[in-house]
Homo-oligomer: A and B are copies of this chain.
């Protein structure tokens, strides 16, 4: 009788586009989130933790990056026919919460949230389908004082996590100014907002591509259209040369000082009411920040910030790191954007029919962490636990008692719990663990009530091959009375 074939073994693999985080990768991110939360808290923001799962209906179709291929969410149908999905950001759940608890929450409601979000996109190098966001938003505050507060807080948060002043800049722009520019360019008619909606859509998508396309590429999309490298033709907005010039002028309006930039924008928006309102908002934000000491060394008015202009309804802000790093190929490049946000007054309206003003920022924690690592500001080699080796497996209780004693003294410690037969393996293990100190007590040491204390920082290199005897002869090793173990270990840790 043939035996059943054993079933195929499952593959031990992270799903495509997902990854695991080990040790310092986890603690460094946590330390950064803790620092940011501390800043948010100091500004009066309260934590909110929604579940990873929302109804598809509540999430809606509000992904900010509308141009991405394979845009989308991870979704499935629940047993009772509701479609559920993993949140793709922390803003959509906030809009749902602001609507659901509108009678209970304080108004304005300042909240922060941090946690993973999921995007069902084609994964790429360094681009994962699960990543962290760390957001702060104010719901129910119509004035741009709320926007300026978020900008100041973002600046504080960046400094708190270790980006010194001068290494970053928060740039502020305003969607309303763009609307004014569009009015001047003749693609927005305030008396008939529906008119030219199609053209404006193309304009918005074009300028949102400024990062990826050249200025020429954007200009082509404003006019007749553009053929990309693959030969595909994208139809443009059909603006005349003069019209396109006005829009392009908006993105290039930055001058040396905030006052000059504001003056230039005022020129561009001319008589447009919405445009003038936008310029006045930028002026107010600059004045408020100035009064609190956030000058142009930290926060600047910059109309070239176009990311998200299509998504937001008023002020838009973006934090950029200004230092250069070396990319994978050793080329210098600017690190770029690590946080962005703005005002989005229509999100809650989806649920309630009532417009609720809201503004907020999202910090890309993983990118920010990468920046700090690139600058060597996190990730300094930290050492592992003290390892108590096992010379005599019948005396496990003694070894565990040593580890307990070290821990009670606040020293991270563990007993080797693999097969103790091969002492070399124990030392290899301690090496792998980056242990600063190994404790050794064989029977002869036990008889004399002493322990050997091995300073592994001194002896790491030959650890893998050395015999017990060789080890014992090393200068990095000292014999101390059992009662003096904790003090001797502490002395080594403090020295190192």
With A16-B80, A418-B141 known to touch, is A432 a contact of B57 (CB < 8 Å)?
no
With A52-B130, A417-B141 known to touch, is A9 a contact of B351 (CB < 8 Å)?
yes
Instruction: Tell yes or no: A424 within 8 A of B by CB.
Output: no
Instruction: Tell yes or no: A412 within 8 A of B by CB.
Output: yes
Asked if B51 and A9 sit within 8 Å, CB to CB, the answer is no
With A53-B15, A351-B12 known to touch, is A288 a contact of B396 (CB < 8 Å)?
yes
Residues of B within 8 A of A217 (CB): none
Instruction: Tell yes or no: A192 within 8 A of B by CB.
Output: no
Instruction: Tell yes or no: A323 within 8 A of B by CB.
Output: no
Partner of A351, one of B10, B15, B54, B55: B10
Instruction: Tell yes or no: A138 within 8 A of B by CB.
Output: yes
Highest count of chain B CB atoms <10 Å: which of A140, A417, A418: A417
* Stretch of A104-112, A170-178, A260-268, A367-375 with 4 or more beta carbons under 8 angstroms from chain B: A104-112
Q: How far is the CB of A293 from chain B (nearest CB, A)?
A: 7
CA distance A328 to B19 in the complex (A): 42
Partner of A145, one of B26, B51, B415: B415
Asked if B400 and A44 sit within 8 Å, CB to CB, the answer is no
Asked if A84 and B78 sit within 8 Å, CB to CB, the answer is no
Q: Mark A378-402, 1 if CB is under 8 A from B, else 0.
A: 0000001101000001001110110
Q: Mark A72-89, 1 if CB is under 8 A from B, else 0.
A: 001110111010101000
Residues of B within 8 A of A99 (CB): 12
Q: How far is the CB of A8 from chain B (nearest CB, A)?
A: 9
Report the interface size class on chain A: 35 or more
Partner of A47, one of B26, B82, B100: B26
Q: How far is the CB of A122 from chain B (nearest CB, A)?
A: 9
CA distance A75 to B25 in the complex (A): 28
Residues of B within 8 A of A57 (CB): 10-11
Partner of A51, one of B14, B140, B142: B14
* Stretch of A146-154, A306-314, A440-448 with 4 or more beta carbons under 8 angstroms from chain B: A146-154
Residues of B within 8 A of A140 (CB): 417-418
